């Protein structure tokens, strides 16, 4: 089983709509969770960390479900500029290494 699994999509989203996707992780000892964003032909960049209590940053909301071992990302009021691949990333306690999912590709359509 892959350490981090994501449905690659693509997720075709009308502009202004809401899109949500999940990622599952296999290591129950995982401690830190993140969403990175990668634009086409660019490097990944941190979008947001995911806390146990969930967190929100503008139109983006991230949730963590430790019992079921998944994290989610929700994008409200989608903009054309949200088109990108969203990478789910997991780290273990004190571990400098990250486990990356293959990404959810989001395409926002006018």
Partner 1 sequence: DVKVTQSSRYLVKRTGEKVFLECVQDMDHENMFWYRQDPGLGLRLIYFSYDVKMKEKGDIPEGYSVSREKKERFSLILESASTNQTSMYLCASSLSPRRGRSYNEQFFGPGTRLTVL
CB of 35 to partner 1, least distance (A): 12
Q: Which stretch binds partner 1 (CB under 8 A): 9-17, 31-39, 66-74, 75-83?
A: 31-39
Write down the residue that tokens 């947001």 correspond to: 48
Q: Residue 96, interface with partner 1 (CB under 8 A)?
A: yes
Q: Residue 95, interface with partner 1 (CB under 8 A)?
A: yes
Cα–Cα distance, 16 to 29 (Å, whole number): 37
Cα–Cα distance, 60 to 13 (Å, whole number): 15
Cα–Cα distance, 24 to 68 (Å, whole number): 8
CA distances from residue 104 to 28, 53, 67 in whole angstroms, order as listed: 22, 23, 22
CB of 102 to partner 1, least distance (A): 4
Size of the site for partner 1 (CB under 8 A): 22
Q: Which residues are near partner 1 by CB under 8 A?
A: 8, 31-32, 34, 42-46, 87, 91-98, 100-103
């Amino acid at each position: 089983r892959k350490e981090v699994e994501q449905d690659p999509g693509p997720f075709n989203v009308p502009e202004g709509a809401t899109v949500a996707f999940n990622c599952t992780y296999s290591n129950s000892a995982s401690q830190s969770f993140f969403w990175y964003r990668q634009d086409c032909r660019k490097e990944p960049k941190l979008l947001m960390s995911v806390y146990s209590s969930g967190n929100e940053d503008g139109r983006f909301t991230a949730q963590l479900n430790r019992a079921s071992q998944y994290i989610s990302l929700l994008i409200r009021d989608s903009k054309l500029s949200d088109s990108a691949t969203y990478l789910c990333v997991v780290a273990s306690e004190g571990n400098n290494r990250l486990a990356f999912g293959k990404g959810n590709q989001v395409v926002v359509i006018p």
